[in-house]
Amino acid sequence: MDGAARREELVAGLIEVFLARGFLRLGVADLAAALRCSKSTLYVVAGSKEQIIVTVVRAFFRRATGRVEAAVAREGDPRVRVGVYLRAISVELAAASPVFFADLAAFAPAREVYRRNTAIAADRVRELIAAASPGRDAVFAGAVAGLVMEAVHRGDLRELTGLDDAAAYRALAALLLAGPDGG
């Protein structure tokens, strides 16, 4: 296996560890043990634990985005795509444990990756709504989606409603799709 393939394999394994167990309380030795490799092997991913975390969190969101967009691409009806998009995000986030989200919130570089991806997702919702319902105020709906997504990201919705991130995205899809032209 070449170096790039090995790195990808390590990152994929680390994504699974992070989603299940978080990352802040795990040392490099813990991560190496989980992947059954040496600590020095993990440094193929990045040069420090902090850089490994950021690399893996970015990879998780890149993988999730690819899967979400693939689900959207399979749907031909523009009115249905908004719900497909938000429900696909929900599916991707459902794999993550509460400790993963707590660690995202607690570690500033990872929190920034999540924030940036949330902003991109809100823009994408606006685009999908504009394509689905030209008469609807896509800018407003996108802004509402962005505010809700940010509240999910900060943990505000979990605190107020008890909904985890995945459930909150399902509820957002239902809300945005409600009404006569919601899809």
Map out the domains of the chain as residue ranges.
Answer: 3-177
**Does 183 score more than 50 pLDDT?**
no
Within a 13 Å sphere around the CA of 57, how many CA atoms are in the beta-carbon half?
25
Rg (CA), the chain: 18
Residue 179: the pLDDT is 59
Please give the residue that has the higher pLDDT: either 17 or 178: 17
Q: Yes or no: is domain 3-177 CATH 1.10.357.10? A: yes
- pLDDT, one tens digit per residue, over 30-86 is 999 999 999 999 999 999 999 999 999 999 999 999 999 999 999 999 888 988 998
**Residue 176 near residue 122 (C-beta atoms within 8 A):** no
Confidence of residue 182 (pLDDT cuts 50, 70, 90): very low
Residue 61, amino acid: F
User: 51-88 burial string, b = 16+ CB within 10 Å, else e?
Assistant: ebbbbbbbbbbeebbeebeebbeeeeebbebbbbbbbb
pTM: 0.86
